[in-house]
Amino acid sequence: MIGIKTIKKLLPGSLKSRVRRYYYKAVKPVENFIKKSSHFLPDTLEVLSGKRDRLTPPTWRNFVGGGDFKIIGNEFFSYFVELGGLKSLEKVLEVGCGIGRMAVPLLGYLKKDLGGSYEGFDIVEQGIDWCREKITSRAPHFHFQCADIYNYGYNPLGKYPAEEYRFPYNNESFDFVFLTSVFTHMLPLAVENYFFEINRVLKPGGRCLITYFLLNRESIKSINAQSSTIDFKHKVDGYRIKDPDIPEAAVAYDENYIQGLYGKNDLQIIPPVHYGSWCGRENFLSYQDIIAAVKKHL
């Protein structure tokens, strides 16, 4: 069976652009309208009955993984403050903002009158639409952009490869940058480019917080013993994947490689590394591994 990656390679550039334009102008709006129409009544009843608040997306729209939307958002909010030193007056960038799970708990924390602000971008248009409708309408200092980046699962007709994408922000614009479960779905060249961009948009002294699946002696031992929640059995140079047919589905990186990227991009890791439960370890902070770092003053 021919996959969409192969089809994209076979199409000439001019035809590829025409297919993209047709999909986004004609097909996608119809798909979105049908989805919204079919779910309008049950979604409204959920909110009116108190089963779901207006800032929590319905299940059919939530594409950011399992777990309770609010609980996970509040969990990471505590990490931003306690591990990353986030302050109410700072300018924040979220790379891969999804459908606002991490942005919602920041609403009452980032103070516009003190200079606090939030920028987020993601490749899934429906998530950006939701965030603009539900979050920006309440908090104008929260902004969301859709990045037309190719991804096999989430944006198969995307225009830009992640390894060439430039974040749409000026140099040294942010005090704090965070990525949750983003590098767990990206391959090395894309990760290296994003590290460069994180360094570029961070102010000197600014911090970043990023989650991973890190390969080290303990996690590899658990994977080999089949104790891990994800079976990273397919080895590639410097990393492992769950599914060779869809490599970006889940990616685990050698910890030394990741730590080396921090050094190459003038980012100093704030010890300790906070290891997660994903591989079956008994002592952990969260599900994924977490690294906080600060940009050096040069």
Q: How far apart are CA 193 and CA 150, in angstroms?
A: 14
Number of other residues whose CB lies within 10 A of the CB of residue 119? 23
Question: Domain 64-295 adopts which CATH fold?
Answer: Rossmann fold (3.40.50)
pTM of the entire structure? 0.84
pLDDT at position 58 is 80
pLDDT digits (tens, 9 = 90+) for 36-91: 554 455 555 555 665 668 888 886 665 667 788 899 999 999 999 999 999 999 99
Sign of the four-CA dihedral 276, 249, 57, 131: positive
pLDDT digits (tens, 9 = 90+) for 143-152: 999 999 998 7
pLDDT at position 153 is 76
CA angle 140, 105, 274 (to 5 degrees): 130
For the chain, report the end-to-end CA distance as a whole number of angstroms: 52
pLDDT at position 157 is 83
pLDDT at 1 over 50: no
pLDDT at position 124 is 92
pLDDT digits (tens, 9 = 90+) for 150-208: 987 778 888 899 999 999 999 999 999 999 999 999 999 999 999 999 999 999 999 99
